Structures are given as C-alpha cells and as structure tokens.
Chain A
Amino acid sequence: GAGVSQSPRYKVAKRGQDVALRCDPISGHVSLFWYQQALGQGPEFLTYFQNEAQLDKSGLPSDRFFAERPEGSVSTLKIQRTQQEDSAVYLCASSLEGTGVHYGYTFGSGTRLTVV
C-alpha cells in the first residue's frame, strides 16, 4: 500500500484481556518502530525492528508487552492482561533505511486502545 496501515483503528478491551495490534509497513521499508502516545503526550519509543530482527525493545513497559515481525514485513504488538494504564494510541512507523534519520519515519494513523 501507499502508507503504513494499522488495524484495528479502535480497540476497547476489558481489563485483563489480551490484545493484538497489527502494523503493515510500506513495502520494502527495512525498519519498523512502535511508539505509545498517551493523551496529551508525545510518542514514546517502545521497540524497533530492522527486517525481522528486534534490535531494541528497551521501551516496552513490562513483560506483558511483546512485539514480533517474523518475516520482516507485518508486525504485531501484543499486550497481555491489559491494564487501564495501557490505554493510549499505539503508533507504528516504518523507514526505508536502517535508522530512519535520513528519510524520516512514515507513521500509521495508530490504534487507539481503551482498557475499561
């Protein structure tokens, strides 16, 4: 596709439920990033893939968060046993080259997760 596609656009989960958020990056983009944006805040780094390799997961807030990109294209962010503090917009971004600094990131529209 022409841009980064994220699904679902909105997700309401009951506390304790597991959720899976999907990101389809731009075809051919090497790098893929997940960010969490709480209400009124800037995006905060969660994790980073270069092709299928997860090179940095230092931003994942707890071991309930898990991300994968098994074939180097589509990525899934999974949150187990969701808590209210997980409510946020989850943004996915991709970049043509390794770091994203030369071409910038292309962001998806995000998935708004509400935990009730």
Chain B
Amino acid sequence: AQSVAQPEDQVNVAEGNPLTVKCTYSVSGNPYLFWYVQYPNRGLQFLLKYITGDNLVKGSYGFEAEFNKSQTSFHLKKPSALVSDSALYFCAVSGGLGGYQKVTFGIGTKLQVIP
C-alpha cells in the first residue's frame, strides 16, 4: 500500500527566511507526488506535482519541491516565506498497485510564518 509521512506537525519560520516542509513516501513503482495547501474554511488547493523529469519542480506562489528517489522524499521549499503562506500543507502520492487515480494524502503540516 502507498503511504506518505509528514514528520512535523508544525513548522515555524520567520517572515523572509527560507522554509522547508518535509515529506517522505512509500509506493511500489514510480510515484506521482503532489503538494496541496489548505487555508481555513477553504478547500485544498493544488500547489505542484512531480511526475517525471527534472527532480526540482516549481509550483504556485513561489513554492518548489525536490524529488529525491534514493531518500524517497519530496520536501516542499520556498526561498523567502510570507505571512500569507501560513496554512496547512499536505503531501500526497499516487501510483503503484493503487493506480494513479487513487491519491493518498499525509496528515498535514501546519506552517506558521511569524512576522
């Protein structure tokens, strides 16, 4: 079965500093990897995805993520955090025996950007 681990319940970072939100995954075969963001009382919003190709993928709002096959990781990064980035971030994976349409989400990491 495929799974995602987000080891940090919460990440605190000062505004203007770089941020990293960690994610590791487990899936048989080639993974499709995603990051979604959830603001209070709103639906999840798609940020970026990795399917194939360049290990560094760029997404919305200046976010990027790096796929590392040997470490089975897909950490989310941003060079300079904004207070408006404060939200709940979900890493997700699909592929393998579960098929590409069944996406498995992590439990989420709360990002708090401190002014």
What's the tally of chain A residues with a CB closer than 8 Å to chain B? 31
Those of B26-77 within 8 Å (CB) of chain A: 32, 34, 36, 41-46, 49, 51
Interface residues on chain B, size class: 20 to 34
Interchain CB contact (< 8 A) of B107 among A35, A42, A107, A108: A42
30 CB-based A-B contacts, threshold 8 Å = A3-B43, A4-B43, A33-B101, A33-B103, A35-B105, A40-B107, A41-B108, A42-B4, A42-B90, A42-B105, A43-B90, A45-B102, A45-B103, A45-B104, A56-B99, A56-B102, A99-B99, A99-B100, A100-B101, A101-B32, A104-B34, A104-B36, A105-B36, A105-B46, A106-B43, A107-B43, A107-B45, A108-B43, A109-B41, A109-B42
Residues from chain A with a CB closer than 8 A to the CB of B46 are: 103-106
For B90, what are the chain A residues with a Cβ–Cβ distance below 8 Å?
Answer: 42-43
Question: Do residues B44 and A91 form an inter-chain contact, with CB atoms below 8 A?
Answer: yes
The one of B43, B51, B108 that contacts A42, using a Cβ cutoff of 8 Å: B108
